[in-house]
Amino acid sequence: MRGFFRALARALRLVAYLVRGLWQARRRARATMGETDRLEFVRSWLAGAAGAIGVRVTVHGLDRLEGRMSQGALWLPNHVSWLDILVIGGLMPGTVFLAKSEIASWPLIGRLASLGGTEFIERGQGSAAAAEAVAEGLAKARKMVVFAEGTTSDGMSVRRFHARLLGPAIEAGLPVVPVALRYYDSDGRRTTGPAFIDREPVWPSLWWVLTSRQTEVVVDILPPIDPDPGEQRSELARRAHHAVSAIVARSALKHPRRDISRP
């Protein structure tokens, strides 16, 4: 029963946060807002949404991006949950996601993804449209986030990274940033609770997060990989996958020491 009331309180808090955020976004749309301010608003809003539902975010390695903030980069995280968008989108302004177009129609989550600047790719358009979106984002100095596994997993291992969208980073000579995500429950143990896999409904994952005493996600920003001139996309994907897998596969039951933490 306690979990039910916790879920109800968080759901109401999230709805209120969403409504307030939409109102603020529309008010800012009417006013003159610079690009920098708009991107920071989106980042701050996404970061706050995670906290509204009791998700704690712990980040390691953000300092590795010092001196690279002003340039475009291709981020390659493992993909576990709908929470990934809130977590990664709340780290830095100018973060843009690529996702399947059907996600845009998901209740609440689709709206959150849209506000986060997600580029939705229609099925049947092929990888050419996605690669074009990545190239345009990199040219605008965006942090383009590509879930290279192509689908979600339970978070305990990392599926093979597909290489088809790495071409724009190689051609532009911009870094690829491997990102490892791991989820923990309120006791500090690795959990699959927030995961939703393939075509499973998202509601069990959402309910788990709402009822849990606390969900913690640990984000490891790994050393950026600068593509070698003429490097094959498959080799670059392999290097990024190896870096992420090495972190995700760690079997420690307790979460690592916190470097940076945001409620």
| Beta bridge mates, 261 | 58
| Confidence grade of residue 29 (pLDDT, cut at 50, 70, 90) | low
Which of these, 219, 216, 152, lies nearest to 184 by C-alpha position?
216
Is the distance from CB of 192 to CB of 208 less than 8 angstroms?
no
Kindly state the average pLDDT of the residues 233-250.
Answer: 94
Amino acid at site 39: L
Other Cβ atoms closer than 10 A to 199? 6
* pLDDT of res. 250: 78
pTM: 0.86
Is the distance from CB of 129 to CB of 121 less than 8 angstroms?
yes
When divided into structural domains, the chain yields a total of 1
- Crossing angle for the helix pair 203-211 and 2-30, to the nearest 10 degrees: 110
Whether residue 221 has pLDDT greater than 90: yes
| Confidence grade of residue 124 (pLDDT, cut at 50, 70, 90) | low
Whether residue 243 has pLDDT greater than 80: yes
Whether residue 107 has pLDDT greater than 70: no
**Which of 31-35, 98-102, 203-207, 239-243 comes out lowest in average pLDDT?**
31-35
Kindly state the average pLDDT of the residues 160-173.
Answer: 93
CA 212 – CA 232 distance, rounded (Å): 43
The bridge status of strand 215-221 relative to strand 55-60 is: parallel
Burial of residue 217, with CB atoms counted within 10 A of its CB: 0-12 exposed, 13-18 middle, 19 or more buried:
buried
Which of these, 5, 7, 154, 147, lies nearest to 78 by C-alpha position?
147
Which of these, 183, 168, 228, 219, lies nearest to 62 by C-alpha position?
219
What are the tens digits of pLDDT across the range 50-95? Answer: 888 999 999 999 988 887 778 899 999 999 998 998 899 899 988 9
CA 260 – CA 227 distance, rounded (Å): 28
Whether residue 30 has pLDDT greater than 70: no
Which of these, 128, 119, 134, 122, lies nearest to 166 by C-alpha position?
134
Domain enclosing residue 38, as ranges: 2-262
| Confidence grade of residue 102 (pLDDT, cut at 50, 70, 90) | confident
* pLDDT of res. 11: 86
Residue 224 DSSP label: P
Beta strands (DSSP E) in the chain are 55-60, 73-77, 95-100, 119-121, 143-145, 176-184, 215-221, 260-262
The bridge status of strand 73-77 relative to strand 143-145 is: parallel
Whether residue 111 has pLDDT greater than 70: no
| Confidence grade of residue 166 (pLDDT, cut at 50, 70, 90) | very high
Whether residue 38 has pLDDT greater than 80: no
* pLDDT of res. 260: 41
| Confidence grade of residue 157 (pLDDT, cut at 50, 70, 90) | very high
Q: What is the CATH number of the domain that holds 234?
A: 3.40.1130
* pLDDT of res. 146: 92
* pLDDT of res. 125: 55
Whether residue 247 has pLDDT greater than 70: yes
CA 135 – CA 129 distance, rounded (Å): 10
